[in-house]
């Protein structure tokens, strides 16, 4: 049996007439339809991508580069995705458009507090703020009232100094006399009382929003006072330690500098009632100084 294939007669060229669909073989017709469909699909995706972008204006400043020492705003158009946050947008801008864009971020779960920005005129956590909730263009700036290191990064040293000034650690002099280890128990009611104050993530948003802190560099600030509240109201610390904490807080640049503007409470990403805690510490300080004859 011969293995040679018989040569097929050469096909004659068929005039390309768009109306003569029957002139195409079924395979050619399917290929043409597939190609047309792919082109249409690609065009739809491009149109969709062009329409679903978010316009962000990012503050830029770099003191180490002569051309960037004058503060400015750079515009980026970032493809929008459902659930996109402000942090997602600036990360995309950095990764795809400008690798020199500088900002802090870590956990992306509103726990570390490192990505606090000034977004559309309000202190917010970048990883918690939904792009879809904001008006465009989304204006992203570093936290006000703090020295800018580069782009969206601010110097947090002063904020940390104020936090440490209130001795934010547990101090207990009433340890059990027995040699056996005993747990330091806290009542459920007392735990409930200080629960909200323990949610602070040291983001600095409240301090940045406080007009008093902006004008008084020695003011402890709402974050530090809230941290002191957590320990001052803890029943496991002795009355002597509590009085020591209140003496720190009732100084000239302590709780009495607060003018009850509620700005710190409004911007807190963890919904801590900061102003309420400050007012309660004022009342405690007054009660400690009351004398009855």
Q: Give the residue extent of every domain in the chain.
A: 52-154, 157-170+192-289
Per-residue model confidence (pLDDT) at position 210:
96
Average pLDDT, integer, range 214-221:
94
Query: 12-42, pLDDT tens digit by residue?
Result: 444 444 444 455 666 666 666 556 555 445 5
Q: Is 199 exposed, middle or buried (0-12, 13-18, 19+ CB in 10 A)?
A: middle
The residue to which tokens 């949610």 are assigned: 199
Average pLDDT, integer, range 236-255:
89
Measured at the CA of 113, the angle between CA 201 and CA 138, to 5 degrees, comes to: 135
Token pair listed for 29: 């017709």
Give the pLDDT band of residue 236 (cuts 50, 70, 90): confident
- Specify the fold of 157-170+192-289: Fumarate Reductase Iron-sulfur Protein; Chain B, domain 2 (1.10.1060)
pTM: 0.77
Give the pLDDT band of residue 185 (cuts 50, 70, 90): confident
Q: Coil, strand or helix: which one is 134?
A: coil
Considering the domain 52-154, what is its CATH architecture?
Roll (3.10)
Per-residue model confidence (pLDDT) at position 4:
45
Distance of alpha carbon 246 from alpha carbon 79, whole angstroms: 51
What sign does the CA torsion over 9, 10, 12, 18 have? positive
CB proximity list for 274: less than 8 A, separation 6 or greater: 206, 222, 223, 225, 226, 264, 265, 268
Q: Are strands 138-141 and 53-60 parallel, antiparallel or unpaired?
A: parallel
Query: 39-66, pLDDT tens digit by residue?
Result: 445 544 453 455 689 999 999 999 999 8
What would you measure as the largest C-alpha separation in the chain, in angstroms? 128
């Amino acid at each position: 049996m011969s293995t040679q294939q018989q040569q097929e007669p050469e096909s004659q060229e068929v005039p390309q007439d768009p109306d003569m669909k029957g002139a195409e073989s079924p395979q050619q017709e399917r290929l043409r339809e597939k190609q047309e469909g792919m082109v249409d699909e690609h065009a739809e995706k491009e149109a969709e991508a062009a329409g679903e972008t978010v316009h962000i204006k990012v503050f830029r400043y770099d003191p180490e580069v002569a051309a960037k020492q004058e503060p400015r705003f750079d515009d980026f158009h970032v493809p929008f995705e459902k659930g996109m946050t402000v942090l997602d947008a600036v990360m995309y801008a950095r990764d795809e458009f400008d690798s020199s864009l500088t900002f802090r971020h870590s956990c992306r779960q509103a726990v570390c507090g490192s990505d606090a920005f000034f977004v559309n005129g309000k202190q917010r956590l970048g990883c918690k703020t939904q792009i879809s909730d904001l008006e465009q263009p989304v204006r992203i700036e570093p936290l006000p009232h703090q020295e800018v290191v580069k782009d969206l990064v601010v110097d947090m040293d002063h904020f940390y100094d104020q936090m440490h000034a209130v001795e934010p650690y547990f101090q207990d002099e009433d340890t059990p006399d027995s040699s056996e280890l005993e747990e330091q128990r806290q009542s459920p009611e007392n735990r409930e009382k200080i629960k909200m104050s323990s949610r602070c993530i040291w983001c600095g948003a409240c301090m940045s929003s406080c007009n008093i802190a902006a004008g008084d560099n020695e003011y402890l600030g709402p974050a530090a006072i809230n941290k002191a509240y957590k320990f001052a109201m803890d029943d496991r610390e002795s009355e002597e330690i509590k009085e020591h904490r209140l003496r720190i807080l009732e100084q000239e640049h302590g709780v009495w500098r607060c003018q009850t503007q509620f700005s710190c409470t409004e911007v807190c990403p963890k919904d801590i009632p900061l102003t309420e805690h400050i007012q309660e510490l004022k009342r405690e300080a007054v009660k400690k100084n009351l004398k009855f004859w």
